[in-house]
């Protein structure tokens, strides 16, 4: 992001809190498996198992969606807003349909199964083979408004 561009929208697709509890339970399960080998082995397994599970959960929640006055930033992608069409807000069954049987393999998709809403935006650039963007978001109306400015 350039220092002169004004941030219009910013969202981090964080993992649900229940996933962190599951990561802790994974560590405890790993410790229970290694308990017959002694307390030290169980503690080491607890630390390693919890760290591995927490790393996975953290990676799932590290994606950001940002919109400035002229650019959409999604994960590592930078897309000028001038190359995008009008955004379409997707909720419930329609969002699921575009994630599954309506999906195009060439589309740029940032999907999170734990986020029910999404925004679909056509790519207007004739030189880009990507037909559309599919972005999971907790605030589809606000994201669509930011992209459609």
E strands, the chain, in order? 7-12, 64-68, 71-74, 77-80, 84-90, 108-110, 118-123, 132-136
List beta partners, residue 122: 132
**Is residue 59 within 8 Å of 48, Cβ to Cβ?**
no
E strands, 91-130, in order? 108-110, 118-123
The domain limits of the chain are 77-147
**Is residue 23 within 8 Å of 57, Cβ to Cβ?**
yes
Closest by CA position to 14, among listed 143, 148, 144, 139: 139
**Is residue 138 within 8 Å of 115, Cβ to Cβ?**
yes
User: How many angstroms separate the CA atoms of 24 and 39, rounded?
Assistant: 18
Task: Categorize the per-residue pLDDT at 15 as very low, low, confident or very high, splitting at 50, 70 and 90.
Answer: confident
Four-CA torsion 82, 83, 88, 91, nearest 10 degrees: -110
For residue 2, what is the DSSP state? -
pLDDT in tens, 91-149: 989 999 998 899 899 999 999 888 889 999 999 988 889 999 999 999 999 999 999 87
pLDDT in tens, 26-74: 999 999 999 999 999 999 999 999 999 999 999 887 889 999 988 999 9
Please state whether the predicted TM-score (pTM) of the whole model is above 0.95. Answer: no
**Is residue 134 within 8 Å of 75, Cβ to Cβ?**
no
**Is residue 68 within 8 Å of 6, Cβ to Cβ?**
yes
């Amino acid at each position: 992001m350039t220092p002169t561009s004004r941030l219009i929208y910013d969202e981090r697709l964080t993992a649900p809190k229940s996933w962190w509890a599951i990561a802790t339970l994974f560590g405890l399960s790993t410790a229970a498996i290694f308990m017959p080998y002694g307390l030290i082995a169980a503690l080491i397994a607890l630390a390693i198992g919890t760290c591995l599970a927490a790393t996975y959960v953290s990676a799932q929640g590290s994606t950001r969606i940002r919109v400035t006055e002229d650019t959409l930033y999604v994960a590592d992608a930078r897309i000028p807003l001038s190359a995008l069409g009008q955004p379409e807000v997707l909720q419930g069954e329609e969002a699921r349909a575009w994630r599954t049987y309506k999906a195009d393999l060439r589309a740029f998709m940032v999907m999170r199964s734990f986020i029910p809403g999404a925004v679909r935006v056509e790519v207007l650039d004739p030189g880009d083979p990507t037909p559309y963007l599919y972005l999971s978001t907790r605030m589809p109306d606000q994201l669509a408004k930011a992209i459609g400015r």
